[in-house]
Amino acid sequence: MDTITHNARASAIADPATAARWSIDAVAELLDLPFNDLLYRAQTIHRANFDVNAVQLSTLLSIKTGGCPEDCGYCPQAARYHTGVDNEVMLGIDEVVAAARAARDQGATRFCMGAAWRGPKQRELDRVLDMVKAVRGLGMETCATLGMLKAGQAEQLKEAGLDFYNHNLDTAPEFYGEIVSTRTQDDRLDTLAKVRSAGLHVCSGGIVGMGETRRTRAALIAQLANLDPYPESVPINNLVQVEGTPLHGTAELDAFEFVRTIAAARITMPTAMVRLSAGRQQMSEGIQALCFAAGANSIFYGDKLLTTGNPDALRDRALLTTLGMYPMQVASKA
């Protein structure tokens, strides 16, 4: 491609500095760029907004595992699937605080608490509020993912000291019904609106590798980027296939396509923390390094993500050292 043609093509792609919204076509054009051109653009935007060698370390703990009534096709915690995940009781506050303290001592600055609920009952939320207060008392950023929220619950979480609420959009609107039938994506957007209204930061991303097309991935990124404002944290998950779930056996996503998705998220959401989330255990160190080059600057850190494996802390620290990267010393307050 000659320089004139390349420049004309690049100028046709929406620029977040001048465009109010990202169209699906504009994000699809990003994903279609030659790989090196896409990474160069993402890296340029990343450098303009962050220390490119600093990575935020977050730890995720399942405080209530299994027994979820939803039918998300990717999730081993759904009660209706036979995945070997038991319906466990909620952890006690002492267990949660001990896990948070250990995560902090290993360098994590954000601690996320996840529960396999459609949404919390008030008596359940009351226990989570105590956990949030205790973890915040350790000097860490706090995040929770508890399902759909009812009126007033986001405000209670905010008052307890919660910083971020995670509620992923999962996939593009037109593909959502292929993955989940027990709720709509509008239900998810309603919870995100409650979270914003309460003054909480939003953590919202999606899952790729669920059999979707590249254009579907473009539509997901466009939808996230067009939230007003876009999420402060954007976890990009690569499907972890678990036997017993409907999506087990889905064709695996090409690793370079995953890197492209990271780059598109960085370009369309320049100041967001773009997080490598589920599926990282299956990635080579080389692909993870490319994801950092494409603008990822946050990882879940520890040996487990809810019910699936994650690279352990020592391996992560070794990789960062090899790359000349280091943990963020102060949690982002984007």
Contacts (Cβ under 8 Å, ≥6 apart) of 113: 60, 61, 63, 96, 128, 131, 132, 135, 142, 143, 144, 145, 146
Q: What long-range pairs does 276-279 form, CB within 8 A, spacing at least 24?
A: 276/236, 276/300, 277/205, 277/235, 277/236, 277/237, 277/305, 278/207, 278/237, 278/238, 278/239, 278/240, 278/305, 278/308, 279/209, 279/237, 279/238, 279/239, 279/240
Q: By the 8 A CB rule, do 319 and 285 touch?
A: yes
Helices (H), the chain: 3-12, 24-32, 35-49, 93-105, 122-136, 153-160, 173-179, 185-197, 214-225, 255-268, 285-293, 313-323
> Annotated catalytic residue: which of 68, 260, 266, 280?
68
CA distance 297 to 55: 5
Tokens 């792609």, located at residue: 13
> Annotated catalytic residue: which of 183, 188, 203, 280?
203
> Annotated catalytic residue: which of 41, 112, 266, 280?
112
Catalytic-residue membership of 112: yes
CA distance 83 to 243: 6
Helices (H), 33-166: 35-49, 93-105, 122-136, 153-160
> Annotated catalytic residue: which of 104, 127, 143, 291?
143
Using DSSP's 3-state secondary structure scheme, residue 126 falls into helix
Nearest-CA neighbor of 81 among 284, 308, 257, 242?
Answer: 242
Catalytic-residue membership of 291: no
CA distance 68 to 58: 24
CA distance 299 to 43: 17
Catalytic-residue membership of 72: yes
> Annotated catalytic residue: which of 41, 75, 127, 188?
75
Q: At what angle do helices 24-32 and 214-225 cross, to 10 degrees?
A: 120
The first and second tokens of residue 289, run together, are 């390094």
* Active centre residues (catalytic): 68, 72, 75, 112, 143, 203, 275
